[in-house]
Every structure is written in structure tokens, then in C-alpha cells.
Amino acid sequence: MKLSIVLPAYNEEGSIEETLRTLYAKLQEEQIDHEIVVVNDNSKDNTLGLLTTIQETIPTLVVHTNQGPNGFGYAIRYGLERFQGDCVAIMMSDLSDDPADLVAFYRKMVAENLDCVFGSRFIRGGATYDYPKHKYLINRFANTLIRLLLGMSYNDSTNAFKLYKKTTIQGLKPFLSAHFNLTIELPLKAIIRGFSYGVLPNSWRNRKAGESNLKIKEMGSRYLFILLYVIIEKYLSRNDYLKREA
């Protein structure tokens, strides 16, 4: 099963090369058939130039530039319309996600024939490093609220790092999110629509270079919009969007 990895990149010249070389080395070591799809989200720095140079030594690297509209969600959606694998992982370009965790996700999906594999940083075996305290508190509040409102046990919906089969991605359309709220739209839709999933612990490290594009004050209403949409679909759609077996 071919693995695709979609990484959105906006002004990541300080991190993108180390991220890609570390990821590629791990996938080569594990002999996993793959492609690495980087979506340059109309960066203003030298991200695109670096990507062009890196392509010369990473043959599985595919580079797209999203001319617009721009934003984290739009960049991921751009990649999700263009990847060629049988399954696709969403990862960050700042080396916050561990390639070893990606391998574990992939092995679990193949072994158990799952539609999705989700990570949790907040179960036994999971870890966070240099997580800003205010973001941690907001994260735990938001995930607890999501769990209570949807009646589910999964506790890390807001982390973008997840793996989906290609057929699952098709079953989650149309996408509504233009920004970071896509991180909850995809897994919550998958769960309420009946796609199978497994959960593994994963780690997260704060970026070493550049700055986060997540602006919490701007995102609150957008996360709430998606959460309300998912609640309405779960309780009022009369199962119109449930997974259909081939």
C-alpha cells in the first residue's frame, strides 16, 4: 500500500529541509513505498527555493504551490486533491511530528485494515516537549468538550497528525474548513460517519525555527463552527452520510 504524506508549508525555510530529510531517511529505512507531497502555501521566504533544491536528492518529493486562496486548511485540501497513494498522512513541516510514529501508524493500518489511524499525545506512551502551557490548557479543554458533546473516547482530535485511507478521504468530502479547524473536521467526520479507526500514542515537539501560524484568538469561532456542524450531522442527518460499503 503506497503511503502519501501531505505537508503544508508557509515560510518554513528554517525547518523544511531537516523535516524532509529526516522523514525520507526513515521511510527509506523501513522500505515503505511513498511520496512526500509538500504544498507551498505561497510562502514569502525562500521555502520554494529550498524545496526545488531538495527535490534533486529526494526523488519521492512532490512540490505544489497553492497560489490561493491561502491558509492552513486550504493548503492541506490542495494536497488531498492531488496525492497519488492508497493512504495519506497529514504532517507538519516544522519537525514537530516524529517519522517513527508515522511508520507505526502505517503498520497498524496495514495490519488491521483500518480506515484511519489517529495519534494521541495524551495517552500512555504519548508525549509533548516544550508545549506552551496556555496552548496545553486550551487544548485539553477543547478536546474534553468535543468528547462530551459527541460521546466518544478519543482525546486528541485537534492534532493534525493522522493517517487516512484514500477511500476515507473521499468519504469525508465536501470539506468545509479553510484554516486549522480542518484538524478536527477530518477525524470527527470519520468517527461519526462510521469509518474504522485505531489510536496509537505519538509524540510532539515544539518547532525549533520560525513561528507558529496558529492564532488561537482567530481560530476559536472556526473550531466551534465545525464542532456544531458535526453535532448537527451526528444527531439530525438520519445517517445520510454514513460510510457505505463497496
Neighbours of 235 (CB within 10 A): 11
For 122-164, give the DSSP string. TSTT-EEES--HHHHHHHHHHHHHHHHHHT-----TT---EEE
Place of cell 502551557: 133
Residue 186 in domain: yes
The b/e string for 157-175 (b: 16+ C-beta within 10 A; e otherwise) is: bbbbbbbbbbebbebbeeb
pLDDT single digits (tens) 31-75? 999 999 999 999 999 999 999 999 999 999 999 999 989 999 999
Average pLDDT over residues 126-140: 92
Assigned domain for 245 exists: no
Number of domains in the chain: 1
Q: Which of 161, 158, 152, 153 is nearest to 140 (CA)?
A: 158
C-alpha cell at 175: 470539506
Q: Please say whether the beta carbons of 91 and 117 come within 8 A.
A: no
| Mean pLDDT of the region 9-25 | 96
Quick check: is 244 in a domain? no
Question: In the numeric block, which cell numbers belong to residue 33?
Answer: 513505498
Q: Show the cell assigned to 207.
A: 518547532
- Residue 243 in any domain: the answer is no
Cα–Cα distance, 45 to 47 (Å, whole number):
6
- Segments forming the whole domain that contains residue 162: 3-236
Q: How many residues does the chain have?
A: 246
Judged against a pLDDT cut of 60, whether residue 205 lies above it is answered with yes
Q: Is the pLDDT of residue 215 over 90?
A: no
Q: Contact at 8 Å (CB) between 118 and 154?
A: yes
Q: With bands split at pLDDT 50, 70 and 90, how would you rate the model's confidence at 196?
A: very high
Residue type, 194: G
| Pairwise CA distance, residues 92 & 47, whole Å | 14
Specify the CATH number for the domain of residue 97: 3.90.550.10
Q: What are 224's three cell numbers? A: 466551534
